[in-house]
Amino acid sequence: MNLDRLDKGAEPAPKLSVDVAGLSMRRWLKLAGLFALGTAGSLTLAIGAASFPLSGLLVRPKLKRMAQLKSRHLRSLIRRLGFEIEDVMISSFDGTKLHGWWMEAGKTAPTVVVLHGVKKNRTDVLRAGLILRQAGFNVLVFDGRGHGNSEGRYITYGFYERRDVESAIEWLVSDTKVDERRIGLAGESMGAAIALQVAAHDTRVRAVWADSPFASLKRVTEEFVRRVTRLPGPVLSPVLWTTLQVANYRGKFDVNMVDPLALAAQIKCPVFLVHGTADDLISASHSESIHEALSGKKELWIVEGAAHARIKRHSKQEYRERLISFFQASLELDEIGG
């Protein structure tokens, strides 16, 4: 099966600066920082001016690849590959409607839920989903809250999304009647971090494939703010603190509680971590920290030269083989005591 056509129109690795009213975010925030240093009485105003757009990048970023969701060509391609795709709607714990695609291999087959990254949608994880579907797995891909066609205004990186995935698992068990002893999660970037958080709380998750996860939202946000602003130390700390407080208020959550690393020791199922050394958004050290903290069966694959969540294109064949073999080994009934 050739999945290369799925990459047609795929976006390059995201850049670290964005435009705001004609100015790059980095330049705009630098001006705010210089203004703050030049007039102490305006420090609070400058910090607020810098923090609000940064919080927006965190909890309400501009979405991408929306046109792909309406693509008849994409659906036609999936069907030409020999798979049926069913539109589904899952009602989450708080009534948020989540829209996705269900690709069924059979009621007795193991099932994998594939989770996308921030600003993306279900089309971005179709490659992994179709690899697994061809290998005989049931596959569910859906747009996370605040993404794609799903409802939701703000993104919380697992604070609410964890319960969304648990609602999806409940839907799988109750509506599609899949074997709840053979359910795994695969995620990229934010989706990988969400998968780890779900596994720490829900024992129905029997395996996690985590591609380029962050160790904690606070840590990765601090690294991001430091890179995009390059603000001097006296301004950076209050800008970061205020950014997180504004994000908490807007998203109605607690950034400090989105912490896969702190939960890692609670995860009992097998976990496969994969990360690229050329990842300039989330460094491989995040996966290394998580791997060290895991107490159960675990594996870490560091891919030399691979950018953020690009291992599936950088090392296509090895990615495919490792993905399939991991879930085949982890979701067999004999392996999980079924």
Amino acid 316: pLDDT: 95
Q: How far is the CA of 198 from the CAs of 11, 106, 160, 187, 191, in angstroms?
A: 28, 24, 11, 11, 10
Provide mean pLDDT across the span 234-254: 91
In angstroms, the CA 52 to CA 157 distance is 18
Q: Where in the chain is the domain with CATH 3.40.50.1820?
A: 66-216+258-335
User: pLDDT class for 22, splitting at 50, 70, 90?
Assistant: very low
Q: Is residue 19 predicted with pLDDT exceeding 50?
A: no
CA–CA gap between residue 250 and residue 198 (Å, rounded): 23
Distance between CA atoms of 296 and 42, rounded to whole angstroms? 51
The whole-number average pLDDT for the span 328-332 is: 95
Measuring CA to CA, how many Å separate 304 from each of 10, 217, 279, 311, 330? 22, 24, 10, 10, 26
Q: Which CATH superfamily includes the segment(s) 66-216+258-335?
A: Alpha/Beta hydrolase fold, catalytic domain (3.40.50.1820)
Whole-angstrom CA distances from 52 to 40, 220, 247, 261 are 20, 18, 8, 27
Distance CA 290, CA 32 (A): 35
Question: In this predicted model, what pLDDT tens digit does every residue of 266-325 receive, in sequence order?
Answer: 999 999 999 999 999 999 999 999 999 999 999 999 999 999 999 999 999 999 999 999
Region 234-261: mean pLDDT is 92
Cα gap 85→123, rounded to integer Å: 12
Kindly state the helix (H) or strand (E) to which residue 211 belongs, with its residue range: strand 205-211
Give the model confidence (pLDDT) of 85-128 as tens digits. 999 999 999 999 999 999 999 989 999 999 999 999 999 999 99
What integer pLDDT is reported at residue 8 of this predicted model? Answer: 55
Whole-model pTM: value is 0.87
Mean pLDDT check: name the lowest of 15-24, 29-38, 115-124: 15-24
User: What are the two backbone dihedrals, phi and then psi, of residue 281, each rounded to the nearest 5 degrees?
Assistant: -105, -50
Of the listed ranges 132-136, 173-177, 219-223, 262-266, the one predicted with least confidence: 173-177
233, exposed or middle or buried, with CB in 10 Å at 0-12, 13-18, 19+? exposed
